[in-house]
Amino acid sequence: MSIISNSITKAVALLNEEQIIGIPTETVYGLAGNIYSSKAIKSIFTMKQRPLFNPLIVHIKSVNDLHEIARAVPEKALILAKAFWPGPLTLVLKKQIAIPDLVTGGKDTVAVRVPNHPLTLALLNQLAYPLAAPSANPFGCISPTTAAHVAGYFKDLLPLVLDGGACERGIESTIVGFVNGEPVVYRLGSLALEDIEAIVGPVKMITHDEIAPAAPGMFSKHYAPLTTTFLTADEMEKLKTFPQQKIGVLVLQKEIDDPKIVQQEILSSTGNLAEAASQLYAALHRLDNCHLDCIIAERFPDVGLGKTINDRLQRATKK
C-alpha cells in the first residue's frame, strides 16, 4: 500500500502518537514531528542520518505563536516575519527555555518559520504543538519537491507522506539571523535577498561554514545528485571538451544541440528565475535517474533567485 495520502486526520493521529511523517510546504517537503516529543525528534535525526548538532526548523501556524518559541525578538525580525509569513523565510532567534535542546542542537537559538501551504497550515491548526521539520531527504541528498520523492527516499520507514502536490517554490527557505538586531543571511533560499533588503535595508551574508566552525566543510557539499555534476561558467561550448558519452544538461532556457546529450532540462523557457528555482530539484532528481556519465549545469544569472540556484549548483558539484 502506498504511504502517500492527503488525509489530515491520519496525519494528526500519527503525529499525536509521536510518529513522524512527510509534509508538504511551499519550499520543499519536510520530515515532521512534535517538537516536544524526544522520540519523534530522535527518529527524524536517525531517519535522515543527520548529525545531532545540526538543528531543525520549528514550523508554527502563525506569527502570533512566535513568542512561545523565541524571546527577545529584534524589531527587524518582527517586521520581516509580518512581511513574509506565511512564506519561505526562516528566522534564527533566541530560544524560549521550553524549546528542547534536541531540536536546536544544544544552541541557545532556534530557527522558526510559518510555512505557506494550505494542507500543512490546516494540519498545524489541528495540533497542540509546533512541528520540527528538516527537508525530507537523507543527509546530503537532493531535497524532495514531490510526495513521490519523499516516498522514494523513505518508503519502508515512514507511515505517511501527506500529499500536497509539487512544491510551488521548490528550494528551501532563506535563513536570516540577527547580530545586534541587524539581519544576517545564513542560507540563500526561495526568498530573494533583494526582497528582504527592500524591507529592512542592506543585509550581510554569512556562510554556513562560518556559523558551524566546529564542522568545517561539513555542510558545503549538500543537495547533491549521485551523478558527477559540473558547473560551467560560459555556455555549453565546453561540452565538446568532455570525454563522457552520456551527458545530461541543465540550463535556464536555451536548448543545446549535441549528440552526447541524452537528457536535457530547460528550467524556464521564458528565462523566469522563480520558475527555474521551482523546477531545479525535480530536474536534478530526473537527471540522477537517467544513468548518465555526468551532468553539466550552466551558471545562472547572478541576480535574485539566480543567486540561490547558483549556490545550490555549486554545492551539488563539490566533491
Which residues lie near ligand TXA (CB under 6 A)? 25, 27-28, 30, 54-57, 90, 92, 104, 107, 109-111, 115, 133-135, 172-173, 175, 186, 211
Task: Using the minimum distance from each CB to ligand TXA, give the nearer residue, 210 or 258.
Answer: 210
Per the annotation, does 190 bind a ligand? no
Rounded CA-CA distance 257/11 in Å is: 47
5: three-class secondary structure by DSSP: strand
Rounded CA-CA distance 262/181 in Å is: 51
185: three-class secondary structure by DSSP: strand
Task: Using the minimum distance from each CB to ligand TXA, give the nearer residue, 181 or 271.
Answer: 181
Per the annotation, does 135 bind a ligand? yes
Least distance to Mg ion from the beta carbon of 223, Å?
7
Per the annotation, does 5 bind a ligand? no
Least distance to ligand TXA from the beta carbon of 239, Å?
32
**What phi and psi values does residue 33 have, to the nearest 5 degrees?**
-150, 160
Applying CB under 5 A, the site for Mg ion has a residue count of 1
Least distance to Mg ion from the beta carbon of 14, Å?
22
Please choose which of ligand TXA, Mg ion, none residue 307 contacts, taking the beta carbon within 5 to 8 angstroms, the exact cut-off set by kind. Answer: none
Residue 47: all three cell numbers together = 531517519
The CB-nearest residue to Mg ion is: 135
Cβ distance 173 to 88 under 8 Å?
yes
Please choose which of Mg ion, ligand TXA, none residue 92 contacts, taking the beta carbon within 5 to 8 angstroms, the exact cut-off set by kind. Answer: ligand TXA
Closest among 186, 189, 223 to 317, alpha carbons compared? 223
DSSP codes joined into one string, 267-289: S-TT--HHHHHHHHHHHHHHHHT
Q: How far is CA 136 from the centre of its chain?
A: 9
Please choose which of Mg ion, ligand TXA, none residue 107 contacts, taking the beta carbon within 5 to 8 angstroms, the exact cut-off set by kind. Answer: ligand TXA
Least distance to Mg ion from the beta carbon of 278, Å?
17
Residue keyed to cell 506565511? 86
H/E run at residue 154: helix 147-154
Measuring CA to CA, how many Å separate 70 from each of 25, 113, 227, 229? 22, 11, 41, 40
Task: Using the minimum distance from each CB to Mg ion, give the nearer residue, 135 or 279.
Answer: 135
DSSP label at residue 237: G
Please choose which of ligand TXA, Mg ion, none residue 186 contacts, taking the beta carbon within 5 to 8 angstroms, the exact cut-off set by kind. Answer: ligand TXA
Supply the angle between the helices 118-125 and 8-16 in degrees, to the nearest 10.
50
Q: What Rg value do the Cα atoms of the chain yield, rounded?
A: 19
Least distance to Mg ion from the beta carbon of 46, Å?
16
Least distance to ligand TXA from the beta carbon of 127, Å?
16
Task: Using the minimum distance from each CB to ligand TXA, give the nearer residue, 308 or 310.
Answer: 308
Pattern 131-150, Mg ion, x by CB under 5 A: ----x---------------
Task: Using the minimum distance from each CB to ligand TXA, give the nearer residue, 47 or 92.
Answer: 92
Least distance to ligand TXA from the beta carbon of 318, Å?
15
Q: How far is CA 211 from the centre of its chain?
A: 18
Per the annotation, does 2 bind a ligand? no
Contacts of 88 (CB under 8 A, 6+ apart): 26, 27, 113, 116, 169, 171, 172, 173, 174, 189, 190, 191
Site of interaction with Mg ion (CB under 5 A): 135
Q: Which residues are annotated as a binding site?
A: 27, 50, 54, 59, 109, 113, 133, 135, 143, 173, 187, 223
